[in-house]
Amino acid sequence: MKKSRTAALAVVGAMSVALALSGCSSSSGSTSSGPVTLQLWTGFTGGDRPGYAQIVKDFNASHKDVQVKLTVESWDTITQKLPSAWLTGSGPDIAAPSSDPNAIADYVKTNSLLPITNTGSGDSKINTSDLIKSTIDEYTYNGKLYAVPANYTTLSLYYNKKLFAAAGITNPPTTVAEMATDAQKLTKGGVYGISLADNATIQMWPVLQWLEGGDIVNSNNCSVVQTAAGQKSLETWANLVAKDKVSPVGQTGAQADSLFSAGKAAMEINGPWAAPGYKSAGIDLGIATIPTGVDGKSVTLGSTAPLAISAKTKYPKQAQEFLAYYTSKAVQKKFSLTTGFPSVRTDLNDDPQIKADPTISTFSSQEADARLYLPKVPNATKVDTDGETTLIGQITRGTSIATATKAAQSTINGLTGCSQ
């Protein structure tokens, strides 16, 4: 699992970190007579990495007056180094600051980002109306847009067809109730019905809570885990894990992936980055949309990382020109078809070639039902780690839901500033 929110918002306060990434200057590589060179940092180290590199390569080939130099580091390294680099003007012109979309809020507070103004229609503009709306909302503060989505995908249900057949189950579950029943049937003979991770991972427990009618916070950023609906939404899967042992307890994302790859778990909720590894591992793989919830409606997690421009770049026009190219329809279509990831554009979902790819189309088809996790919630990362992750760890180990949610509510409200 390549996505993690851990430490994603440790942005402000990293001033003592040395500026060490090579070539980290907006003016490096450019001369008064030569092409402008833009530095770009990203943390995309997974299977989609070649797709981003290809975008840069194609841009450089078609823009002789503007060249982009891509530097790929781990998300933790970028999270550690970028805040001070951007504040001092020694950082890259463009960066994906974090795998956490809420990171943009902190960079806005430190005036580190350039407001994006090159919006409109046509390939030379950033067509915000064709991008995922929730991401544009997430990246807009005080009426100004500060980033575009570097990527966007949903989570789907991976399942092992061989294990399903052995259990006498012919199709993947279409409702959350069926998924719970299937998880129990599939748990036998050293195999777990589902592989759930609750830390160092893309968030899958919030999806289960949403499907069961619950949530973490309300529109006022106040915890709702201890409400009647909130507690009920946790009950089914807490009992399935703690009592029926349908999944190991306390797994990281990597551990959950390994369990499914080894054929020791029949289901897992995950993103498109996992598909190549599961296929390589020889899993008889099925990918289905997330089952509908107790209200009959679909919901899943929308996962994204932002792409933003430094407020101190010497080349704001050229940097925005690159973002327009990056988010253009032709470029995003090529990216999807070569990586297997959905695009950041909604107007590609009906493209015949996109629809013909079973993996891309499954993930793309859920975009309208996807939700960002804790969007614009203050201290979102600590709400996740100290509130949600701790809560799930306790109830899956047998702590009563009433006790665990009471503590989680206090922790979450203290972090978000909620006053009931």
Q: Are residues 386 and 294 in the same domain?
A: yes
Average pLDDT, the chain: 91
pLDDT digits (tens, 9 = 90+) for 301-341: 999 999 999 999 999 999 999 999 999 999 999 999 999 99
Q: What is the pLDDT of residues 123-154, one digit of tens each?
A: 899 999 999 999 999 999 999 999 999 999 99
Asked if residue 23 is part of any domain, the answer here is no
Q: Measured between alpha carbons, how far is 203 from 181 in angstroms, rounded to an integer? A: 22
Beta bridge partners of 151: 305
- Domain with 221 in it: 156-301+375-416
CATH of the domain at 308: 3.40.190.10
Residues 322 and 268 in one domain: no
Give tens-digit pLDDT for 68-102. Answer: 999 999 999 999 999 999 999 999 999 999 888 88
Are residues 282 and 362 located together in one domain of the fold? Answer: no
- For 143, counting Cβ atoms within 10 Å of its Cβ (0-12 exposed, 13-18 middle, 19+ buried), the class is exposed
Residues 389 and 297 placed together within one structural domain of the fold: yes
Angle between helices 49-62 and 316-326 (to 10 degrees): 120
Quick one: pLDDT at residue 17? 34
Burial-class residue 332 by CB neighbours within 10 Å (0-12, 13-18, 19+). buried
Q: Are 67 and 60 in contact (CB under 8 A)?
A: yes
**Which residue type does 384 have?**
D
Band of pLDDT at residue 33, cut at 50, 70 and 90: low
- Count up the domains in the chain and report the number: 2
Residues 136 and 282 in one domain: no
Global pTM value: 0.88
Q: Give the Cα separation of 249 and 144 in Å (integer).
A: 43
Spatial separation of the C-alpha atoms in residues 267 and 229, rounded to whole Å: 26
Share of the chain above pLDDT 90, in %: 87
Give 250-309 pLDDT, tens digit per residue. 999 999 999 999 999 999 999 999 999 999 999 999 999 999 999 999 999 999 999 999
Give yes or no: residues 367 and 328 share one domain.
yes
What's the pLDDT score for residue 420? 64
- Averaged pLDDT, 111-131: 96
**DSSP-H helix ranges across 187-340:** 205-211, 228-242, 253-261, 275-280, 316-326, 329-339
Per-residue pLDDT, 32: 52
Residue 228 in any domain: the answer is: yes
Given this model, what pLDDT does residue 102 score? 86
